Amino acid sequence: MHLLNFRELSGQQLMEIIDKGIEVKHNLTKYQTALDGKSLAMIFQKTSTRTRVSFEVAMTQLGGHALYIDWRTTNFALADIRDEVQYLSRNVDCIMARLLKNSDLQAMAASSHVPVINGCDEKYHPSQAIADLITVKEKRGNLKGIKLVYIGAHNNVCNSLIEGCTKIGVKITTVTPIFNEPSRDEELLKDAKKTGLYETTLDVKRAVKDADFVYTDTWVDMEFFLDPKYAAEKEKRVKLMMPYQINKELMKGSNAYIMHDMPIHRGYEISADAIESPKSIIYEQSENRLYSAEAILLKLLGKY
Is the four-CA dihedral 135, 138, 143, 149 of positive or negative sign?
negative
Residues in Cβ contact with 31 at an 8 Å cutoff, skipping those fewer than 6 apart: 24, 61, 62, 294, 298, 303
52/234 with CB nearer ligand CP: 52
Distances (CA, A) of 303 to 3, 8, 39, 113: 15, 19, 15, 18
109/293 with CB nearer ligand CP: 293
The H or E element spanning position 179 is strand 171-179
52/193 with CB nearer ligand CP: 52
Is residue 173 within 8 A of residue 237, CB to CB? The reply is no
Distances (CA, A) of 72 to 46, 79, 107: 10, 12, 18
Tell me how far, at minimum, the Cβ of 264 lies from ligand CP, in Å: 10
Tell me how far, at minimum, the Cβ of 130 lies from ligand CP, in Å: 12
184 CB neighbour count, 10 Å cutoff: 13
Tell me how far, at minimum, the Cβ of 262 lies from ligand CP, in Å: 5
Strand order in the sheet with 65-70: 65-70, 39-44, 94-98, 116-118
122/261 with CB nearer ligand CP: 261
Tell me how far, at minimum, the Cβ of 93 lies from ligand CP, in Å: 22
97/197 with CB nearer ligand CP: 97
Tell me how far, at minimum, the Cβ of 46 lies from ligand CP, in Å: 8
Query: Residues in the site for ligand CP, rule: CB under 6 A?
Result: 48-51, 120, 128, 261-263
Q: For residue 222, give the nearest of 276, 173, 153, 174 by alpha carbon.
A: 153
Tell me how far, at minimum, the Cβ of 157 lies from ligand CP, in Å: 8
Is residue 107 within 8 A of residue 79, CB to CB? The reply is no
Helix (H, G, I), strand (E, B) or coil at 137: helix
Instruction: Give CA–CA dist 120/213, Å, rounded.
Output: 22
Tell me how far, at minimum, the Cβ of 57 lies from ligand CP, in Å: 13
Is residue 6 within 8 A of residue 60, CB to CB? The reply is no
17/34 with CB nearer ligand CP: 17
1/222 with CB nearer ligand CP: 222
